[in-house]
Amino acid sequence: MFNRNRCLRNIAAIASISLVTGCSLFSDGGDSDQGPIVVGTTSAPSTLDPAASWDGSWELFRNVYQTLLSYPDGATTPQPDAAKECAFTDTTNRTYRCELRDGLQFSDGGRLDAEAVKHSVDRILKIKAPTGPAGLLGSLDRVETRGEREVVFHLKTADATFPFVLATPALSIVDPDDYPADKLREDDGRIDGSGPYTLESYTENDKAELVRNDTYKGTAERQNDAVTIRYFQDSAAMVQALRDKSIDVTYRGLAADDIVELQSKDADEDLQLVEGTGTDISYLVFNPSDPWAGKAAVRKAIAQIVDRPAIAHKIYKDTVDPLYSMVPTGLTGHTTGFFDSFGDPDTDKARKLLTDAGIDEPVPLEFWYTTDRYGSETAVMFKELKRQLDASGLFEITLKSRPWKTYVEGYQSGEYPVFGRGWFPDFPDPDNFVAPFVGKDNALGTPYPAPEITGVLLPRSRRESDRGRVVRDFEQAQEILVDDVRLLPLWQGRQYVAASEEISGGAQALDPSTIMMMWELHRKTSW
């Protein structure tokens, strides 16, 4: 029998979804030893090298690499993993020390010591891959080793969020013998990590086969011996595979139509769907170098016309929520700034913004989106954006698209006037919804100086270890983002996991960044 939200509860917003003890998907139980748990997703890795990834590849990395810190047992603040202990050693949040566990090693037998940690961090900054996570390490000055097990991170400025950075899969620890210091690893299909699993085999855009790593030393308590991740091109095929029992769990990429069908279907299907609060967001980026998108009046007119509730209802069937702030609901610093400034969609107000700026003809703009990253609704959403803006008579929108790998190259080189992006948080803090998007070398390839944010508000907030005391800093940052309209938030997602009724797991199957920890899944042995 299909059960929707049979036992669902919301937890703190910084933990995007709660996989709750008590439902079959989230109950305690033993592994019935019926082969690997098979998990379906539409988010395939773009790379297997952590130095080149600031994207959904982290889903795989979390399970095969290890980080100094992670989120064990439902923790919402980073706790030691490869490290035995970590802490700031000064009162200014500028020196962070970690002591490694004893006897750590990589899955290929290599030794994991302090030099390996330093190598892993240094190569990110040295290689500085266009799609890599170097932007997360902006506050880092240098890494020091003291003996075989002690690592000290010296920061340029105070940064209370640095432990969160160390807990991201971006800071996965790699074997210096296999991962060059000055270039990316070239032997595709292999990973040498120290995480809960080893990567037994990998076929790009098809599947990754994970097996238990017997040399692993960390906090993960594995409830299964093997997991296979299958990568799908679309939600429909993934859901059909779930119904055909060729996969056990779906995660990331469920389309709105499929979610609605699973919610409403009352058939004799042994499936379950669990819904939780998410912190992933969708937004538009305006390129300041474009002759039209670079005009504040054009950006504000678009903000005045875009109808978020229509997008959430018509395109996403109310499986997402309208978003009026780059910081999502539930996190410190969230506001409704775009609604407060622009209110409901209003063509007359938009027209006045343009005419006051001397723009009397329809504005021609290209809107770009990726075809294979943020779900099958993306193309439909952009058609709706075009419809809304064209219907105003103030814009003439041309839609263009590319697959993710070439799409990234395009926005990094400043090719697109306006383009769509999605954001899954690196860590559950408002800093991560502001800092990556501002500054000269941000994650978007479109320089956004924002000197008050980068020079005053972020540095001040990072001196504060109590993250509940940074509310005003991020409210002020949001006011600046609204006034500039360089970024236009559209919607905030919810999290959905569909699975067969026989699958169980722990209450912490998703970490606070909504990355699935595969080791929590197992088959029920009894009811």
pLDDT digits 0-9 by tens, 263-292: 886 655 788 888 877 889 999 999 999 999
Backbone angles phi, psi at 227, to 5 degrees: -135, 135
- Is residue 181 scored above 90 in pLDDT? yes
Q: What is the pLDDT of residues 69-110, one digit of tens each?
A: 999 877 888 999 999 999 999 999 999 999 999 999 999 999
Cα–Cα dist 158/174, whole Å? 27
pLDDT, position 265: 62
With tokens 């769907």, the residue in question is 273
**Residues 6 or more apart in contact with residue 408 via CB below 8 angstroms:** 46, 130, 131
Cα–Cα dist 473/496, whole Å? 32
Q: What is the pLDDT of residues 322-353, one digit of tens each?
A: 999 999 998 988 999 999 999 999 999 999 99
pLDDT band for 3, please (50, 70, 90 cuts). very low
DSSP-derived letter for residue 101 is: P
- Strands of 353-402 (E only): list them: 363-370, 395-402
Cα–Cα dist 87/279, whole Å? 27
Rg of the chain taking only CA atoms, in angstroms: 23
Q: What is the pLDDT of residues 467-526, one digit of tens each?
A: 889 999 999 999 999 999 999 999 999 888 899 988 887 345 778 788 889 999 999 864
Give the other-Cβ count within 10 Å of 264's Cβ.
9
pLDDT band for 25, please (50, 70, 90 cuts). very low
The overall average pLDDT reported for the chain is 90
Cα–Cα dist 233/370, whole Å? 13
- One-letter identity of residue 410: G
Average pLDDT over residues 448-465: 95
With tokens 């950006």, the residue in question is 299
pLDDT, position 55: 87
Q: What is the pLDDT of residues 254-266, one digit of tens each?
A: 999 999 988 886 6
With tokens 């961090």, the residue in question is 121
Check residues 340 and 31 and name the one with the higher pLDDT.
340
pLDDT, position 266: 60
Cα–Cα dist 335/328, whole Å? 8
pLDDT band for 141, please (50, 70, 90 cuts). very high
- Collapse the DSSP code of 197 into the 3-class scheme (helix H, G, I; strand E, B; otherwise coil) and give the result: strand
Backbone angles phi, psi at 353, to 5 degrees: -60, -40
Pairing state of beta strands 487-500 and 271-286? antiparallel
pLDDT, position 24: 42
Whether 394 and 350 have beta carbons less than 8 Å apart is answered as yes
- Is residue 416 scored above 90 in pLDDT? yes
Cα–Cα dist 88/114, whole Å? 17
Q: Which two tokens stand for residue 63?
A: 């399970």
- pTM for the predicted model, two decimal places: 0.83
Average pLDDT over residues 116-145: 95
DSSP-derived letter for residue 10 is: -
Cα–Cα dist 381/274, whole Å? 24
- Is residue 318 scored above 50 in pLDDT? yes
Nearest residue to 478 (alpha-carbon basis) of 354, 338, 379, 358: 338
Average pLDDT over residues 3-9: 36
- Strands of 140-264 (E only): list them: 140-146, 150-155, 197-203, 207-212, 226-231, 249-251
